[in-house]
Amino acid sequence: MNRATIAITFDQYILDRLDELISRHIYPNRSRAIQDAVEEKLHLLERSHLTQECAKLDPNEEKALAEEGFSEELNQWPKY
């Protein structure tokens, strides 16, 4: 995977908290900690977008689509 170097600015409070994670050996360096934080945020945003899109679906229509043709198959199932 290609990597790029960027410059970012943080408030000192955030930087101190980041450095604390490094001193506790939770992350090996600032770059890794920031990369993980950005990846996690992107994942959450993507999930949030998916959730918003799913909320637009009509449950009755989705159920009808899921069960389409199912009644014919159901009659062929053995009785228990």
Model pLDDT, residue 73: 65
- pLDDT tens, per residue, the chain with 80 residues: 798 999 999 999 999 999 999 999 999 999 999 999 999 999 988 888 878 887 788 888 877 777 776 666 666 777 77
CA angle 13, 19, 22 (to 5 degrees): 155
Q: Name residue 72's amino acid.
A: E
User: Where do runs of H (alpha helix) occur along the chain?
Assistant: 12-23, 30-55, 59-67, 70-76
Angle, helices 30-55/12-23, rounded to nearest 10 degrees: 110
pTM score: 0.59
At 27 the pLDDT is 97
